[in-house]
Chains A and B, each alone.
Chain A
Amino acid sequence: MRHQAVFFAGVLWLAVLLAVAVLSIGRARSTAERLVALDVAVIVLMGLLGLSAGGARRSYPLDAALALALLSFVSTLAAARYVGDRRPFEQPEGPGKGEAG
């Protein structure tokens, strides 16, 4: 039982960290900073789901964490490509047009 208390204390601390991450989404000065803060908030939420799965000795919160990882990757990629060159779903046309720099 004492070990489960460690898990739930970790869940509480991660909830505090999640609140800080969400607040820093609001504090961000640009879209890229907002994306970074959103990424961190999602990762903290995945850690929270993992710890709650360990504390309750169930595996279904980990399914939610897995879906969250997939969705977070796709959304971050699409949003970053949209912020970068306004074309999230296409390859840049023309030879060398999409090269960085």
Chain B
Amino acid sequence: MTAWIADVLIVLGLVVMTLGVYGIVRFPDVYTRLHASSKAAFLGVSILLVATALGGGPSVLARVVLIVGLLAITTPVAAHAIAQAAYHQREPMRAPGAVDERPTKS
């Protein structure tokens, strides 16, 4: 029974992961790509690791809990650092409807 649940989770995680990588290829600028990398890719790898933990023993479960918790803490921090660096570098916002709130006279 748990093996079937693990299969469903693997397919789901692969779909989410594929969407994340497709977002990296397809989105126009850094700020929109960060959405794909920090949300879709993290969610996909979490689902895949949970699927791994369903079939393994306690050692696998402990490592999966550690990795998912670590990623949940570090992924937003890394995404914020990249976004701040890109904004300081004045990366262009190519997404339609993007609003840059920087004052024009800096």
Contacts and interface: CB of A to CB of B under 8 A. Distances in A.
B67 A36 contact: no
B95 interface: no
B interface bracket (residues with beta carbon within 8 Å of A):
35 or more
A14 B6 contact: no
Contacts of A30: 30, 86, 89, 91
Contact of B24 (A7, A32, A36, A65): A36
Given A62-B67, A80-B84, A81-B81, A53 B52 contact: yes
Nearest to B36: A40
A76 B60 contact: no
Given A30-B30, A37-B24, A62-B60, A17 B45 contact: no
A54 B77 contact: no
Interface residues of A, number: 47
Interface in B32-54: 33-34, 36-37, 41-42, 44-45, 48-49, 51-52
Interface of A: 3, 6-7, 10, 13-14, 17, 20-21, 24, 27, 30-33, 35-37, 39-40, 43-44, 46-47, 50-51, 53-54, 57, 59, 62-63, 65-66, 69-70, 72-73, 76-77, 80-81, 83-85, 100-101
Interface of B: 3-4, 6-7, 10-11, 13-14, 17-18, 20-21, 24-25, 29-30, 33-34, 36-37, 41-42, 44-45, 48-49, 51-52, 55-57, 59-60, 63-64, 66-67, 70-71, 74, 77-78, 81-82, 84-89, 91, 102
